[in-house]
Amino acid sequence: MYTPLIHSLRMKALPLKHAPTLFLKAVIVFLGALVGLLCVFLFPMLWRELAHEPQLGSVVYPGLIGLYLTPLPFFFALVQAFKLLQYIDTNTAFSDFSVQALKNIKYSAVAISMCYAAGMPLVFVFANLDDAPGAVLMGAAITCAPLIVATFAAVLEKLIRSAIDLKSENDLTI
């Protein structure tokens, strides 16, 4: 038996072509919320604990300032990634807007890496205090990880740029 009440309670199905981008958008929002919570709760606690340590000396301030500056390019890159997913949803992925978003993600990743590099002297001091040479290797890996993202964004940027050029060339010949 079909009734209008049952029909009105049914949820509208999400088109399957938007499901992967919807999942990626949810991941972006989750990562933004997680980093926002870290900024609100963990960073002030670190500042209180480390700012008054006499054995750290003046190394602590560049490290903490680099840690505090890191969320700025991170959130900017998240916004650009969200825009890129919207371009994919609206079938404008191969446009100059996508190239610009990837360029901004690339620059943001390099800025994050520079902020982490500013904190490396603090990692050196911690490694000496705890006699843990692996900490320096971990710090170097964390510093280089955004450079991998920047490289990937640069490759995608060049790929999309060449696809746009090829498309415009084909549009002119037809």
- For residues 8 and 6, give the distance between their C-alpha atoms in angstroms, rounded to a whole number: 5
* Structural domain includes residue 4: no
Over residues 31-71, the pLDDT tens digits come to: 999 999 998 998 888 878 777 777 766 777 787 888 889 99
In a domain, 5, yes or no: no
Q: How far is it, in rounded angstroms, from Cα 152 to Cα 43?
A: 29
Domain-embedded: residue 116: yes
Q: CB neighbours (10 Å) of residue 1?
A: 3
CA atoms of 61 and 4, how far apart (whole Å): 65
Residue with tokens 């190239």: 99
What does the DSSP assignment read for 47-106?
HHHHTT-TTTGGGHHHHHHHHHHTHHHHHHHHHHHHHHHHHHHTT--SSHHHHHHHHHHH
Best-predicted range by mean pLDDT (16-30, 74-88, 110-124, 125-139)? 74-88
Structure tokens at 7: 């029909």
> 6 lies in a domain?
no
**At a CB cut-off of 8 Å and minimum separation 6, what does 147 contact?**
109, 110, 113
9 pLDDT exceeds 50?
Answer: no
- Between 9 and 108, name the one with better pLDDT: 108
Structural domain of 137: 19-169
Confidence of residue 76 (pLDDT cuts 50, 70, 90): very high
- What is the mean pLDDT of the segment spanning 17-29? 86
- Global pTM? 0.82
pLDDT (0 to 100) of residue 5: 47
In a domain, 123, yes or no: yes
Name which of 11-20, 107-116, 127-136, 146-155 the model is least confident about. 11-20
Specify the number of domains making up the chain.
1
Average pLDDT over residues 161-170: 89
- Residue 156 covered by a domain: yes
Residue 120 placed within a domain: yes
pLDDT tens, residue by residue, 90-139: 888 889 999 999 999 999 999 999 999 988 888 888 788 777 778 888 98
pLDDT at residue 157, as a whole number: 95
In a domain, 9, yes or no: no
pLDDT at 14 over 60: no
Please state, in angstroms and rounded to a whole number, the distance separating the CA atoms of residues 66 and 28: 23
Higher pLDDT pick, 5 / 140: 140
Tokens of 76: 């900017």
